[in-house]
Amino acid sequence: MTSALSAFAPIWVLTGLGYLLQRFSVLGEPAGAVLTKLAFNVAMPAVLFSTLIDTPFSALVNEGLIAFGVGTVVVGVLGCLVSWLVFGRRPAERTLTGMASCYVNAANLGIPVALQVLGSSSFIVAVLLVQSLVMMPSMLALIELDVRRDNGSRWRSMLLLPVRNPVIAASMLGVLVGTTGLRPPELLLGPIHTLGNAGVATALLVLGMSLWTGRRGQPRPGPEPGRRWELVMAVLLKVAVQPAVALGAGLLFGLPGPVLFAAVLCSALPTAQNVFIASSQYSIDARFARDCVLVTTLVSMGSLSLIAWLAGAALLG
């Protein structure tokens, strides 16, 4: 499937450019943090809103979520069990391992991949909403139970996460506009569309910049020796087992080829940076979470193209 493979070219080129910009400090040390805030607070919300204002809510109820959900649950539970039974991790740590094994980078990488390969962001937005409305609150709740932080403000903050997060808020607002048909005036839509046109490129540059996590002359510390095999396990679950389970579930339920292709491709996305953010907030071996994000992102550069070629040829004919 040459067309699908060629569609990844701008993704890898812009990601590589972002890495080089950060590696050689072309934009200065703070540039990564500034562009990250720009991408998540301005550019990507503009992409989501502008692509969803013509999409009714019914279009997001996609049967492919069945296959994606089965793969996510199976791999997440498996990651937790292995972390507990094999590596002896406490509840918060094994929760983190489970999420690192199944929580996909739907916003930063998923949207560009969906737009380039699938031609639409509707499925990945549905995944993004499910992760933000269900998976992230569940992960934080399990961690909270282990670390025994009963601060009521944390629970309120967790419940308000979909509203406070600009990416989720823009998605929900776009779905609302698409469902009701009440479009904003073109005077407002014009700047939003302009920002959206730059959103994908900005997100890919940020992704590449995030791959360089060290400073010149200072080696990037790796995971603790006791967690290296756990890292290998989490990476294999994320990039190989999760899309395989999604494929099996989709075939079992008889899903149409294009729908199943979207589910398998999105299941193969790397670990999201949200897992690293959560581990940092609760001081649960942030190095392990960081390396799960880093390694799965690097591996996905090849695995996503391979899956697009093999699964696309098989499922799309």
Structure tokens at 274: 């949200």
Q: What is the mean pLDDT of residues 228-235?
A: 92
**Residue-wise pLDDT tens digits, 237-246:** 999 999 999 9
Lowest mean pLDDT among 22-36, 49-63, 74-88: 49-63
Higher pLDDT among residues 156 and 105, named by residue? 105
List the beta bridge partners of residue 215. 218
For the stretch 52-61, pLDDT in tens is 787 666 766 7
**What's the chain's average pLDDT?**
80
Q: Under a CB-based contact definition with an 8 Å cutoff, are residues 43 and 198 in contact?
A: yes
Alpha helix locations (H) across the chain? 2-7, 9-23, 31-38, 44-52, 64-85, 91-102, 111-113, 122-130, 136-147, 152-159, 161-164, 166-180, 186-210, 228-236, 242-252, 257-267, 273-281, 286-316
Distance CA 1, CA 127 (A): 25
Mean local confidence (pLDDT), 63-87: 93
Per-residue model confidence (pLDDT) at position 249: 95
Tokens of 89: 């991790």
Domains of the chain: 2-210+227-316 (1.20.1530)
What's the pLDDT band for 213 if we cut at 50, 70, 90?
A: low
Distance CA 62, CA 39 (A): 27
